[in-house]
Amino acid sequence: MAYEITGKCNGCGKCEFTCSMDAIRRSWGSYRIDPDLCDSCGACTSVCPVRAIRPD
């Protein structure tokens, strides 16, 4: 199960720097999680200050 970043994202970038799989990238002003690279560890959810990341 991969995760997705919702519209609640404030663009802080904490998730990108936390992802050990390099699955989170900034694209067109927002962040995206590549489901093929995501290993579903959930580290990104624990650092998101606005809880914008949820299971896909």
> How much is the pLDDT for 41?
95
Q: Where are the alpha helices (DSSP H) in 2-50?
A: 14-18, 43-47
Name the architecture of domain 3-55.
2-Layer Sandwich (3.30)
DSSP E strands, 1-56: 3-5, 24-27, 30-33, 53-55
Q: pLDDT tens-digit profile of 1-56?
A: 789 999 999 999 999 999 999 999 998 888 999 999 999 999 999 999 999 999 98
